[in-house]
Amino acid sequence: MTKPLDKKKSFYISVSGRVQGIGFRYSAVKVAAKYRIFGWVRNNFDGSVELECEGDSKNIDAFIEWLKVGPPGAKVIAIEIKEKKYQGIYSNFSVEY
């Protein structure tokens, strides 16, 4: 019997609070690799961090839970999550500038 394929998901996410200058983007890259999440992360001029990410439903959910807290030194005040149509367009997770 074969295991059913996990549903793929894609999201645009904005995280605000103390999320710049504390290694949030590079920590996100490491956590994304752990969960096999693909996409990108970047700082915004307003002090927030934005991401596009895609992957298996279970892994995306775990990644989003991490984003709600962030790395040591972060203080996440708000997270905005918008689900997008999954397209499978990313092959890695990178920091964008």
25 is catalytic: yes
Kind of pairing, strands 75-84 and 93-95? unpaired
Catalytic pick from 18, 36, 42, 43? 43
Sign, Cα dihedral of 13, 40, 46, 69: positive
- What are the tokens at 13? 């996410």
In Å, how far are 13, 27, 33 from 59, measured between CA atoms?
15, 16, 10
What distance in Å separates the CA atoms of residue 47 and residue 32, rounded to the nearest whole number? Answer: 21
Catalytic pick from 18, 25, 42, 92? 25
Which positions are annotated as active-site residues?
25, 43
